[in-house]
Amino acid sequence: MRKLFLFTAALCFCVSTISQSVAPDEALLAKTRALYDAPFTRGLVSFDCAVKFDWKQHFIDLLGSVPPTASPLVERLQTIEHRVFVDRSGATVSAIPKVPDLSAVAHATELEQGYTMIVTGGLNAWLPFGTNVILPIPPTKFTLEKANPSFTLTMSANNVQATILLDSDMRMTSVVSQLPQPIHSATEFSDGPSGYLLKMLKMSDPSNPSAGSQNTFAYTYQTVQNIQLPASVAITTATPESWRFSLTECKAIVGKVVNVAPPR
């Protein structure tokens, strides 16, 4: 779970740092960016949802059954309700009304904290795509070259170096970052009512392939106030261990989209 956090944090750091330089062929880039449904560029300010997770099913998926000694643990954890708040700065998970005293149940505190980190990490991995900062933002320096039938986009800035591969329909298939940290992200997108939606994200450390450090994120979507938001997130960590949670009772805050010209 620590690797999951480090990978998502590094991706967010990489793309936020990339958004700071100068660029040529902005027409094709703008056309490409418009193909993606990034709700935070379409007026979404924030959203919050109830988080649903089945602890019993998680133990069955992990161990094949719930050990009798783990039943009190599962029952105690299942009583805790959570909500998650997401804006451009990231995801924050809170227990409602607050995390109860779990000291009397062995491993409950550790699992509650790990679960919170999983939910946060799953939504933070989606966030760079939800804000459309994976593709360079003018005036970032980049080149976009056709390599029949696909495209290769390379970008560089101070302490940043990355390459994005795109299919002929301009769907991203991979993002490879050399700086500030080596990360390889393979991506799949589905068709949504307002553009491409991130369906699958696989993140690994290309500098250490023997470590089995790949984390996989899979997303489904729901419509909230005419906006496509994650409905479920399935995560398989490098351990490997699988987690799946759903988002319900979602509320979205929507405002006007303000386009600010970058400084020249």
124-133 tens-digit pLDDT: 999 999 999 8
Report the pLDDT value the prediction gives residue 74, as an integer from 0 to 100.
Answer: 96
Q: What is the four-CA torsion angle of 188, 190, 191, 192, rounded to 10 degrees?
A: -120
Quick check: 15 pLDDT over 80? Answer: no
Quick check: 6 pLDDT over 60? Answer: no
pLDDT above 90: percentage of residues in the chain = 64
List phi, psi (to 5°) of 89.
Answer: -85, -10
Model confidence, pTM: 0.86
Report the pLDDT value the prediction gives residue 27, as an integer from 0 to 100.
Answer: 84
Report the pLDDT value the prediction gives residue 25, as an integer from 0 to 100.
Answer: 74
Q: State the average pLDDT over residues 151-162.
A: 83
Average pLDDT, the chain: 86
Tokens 């999983």 found at = 118
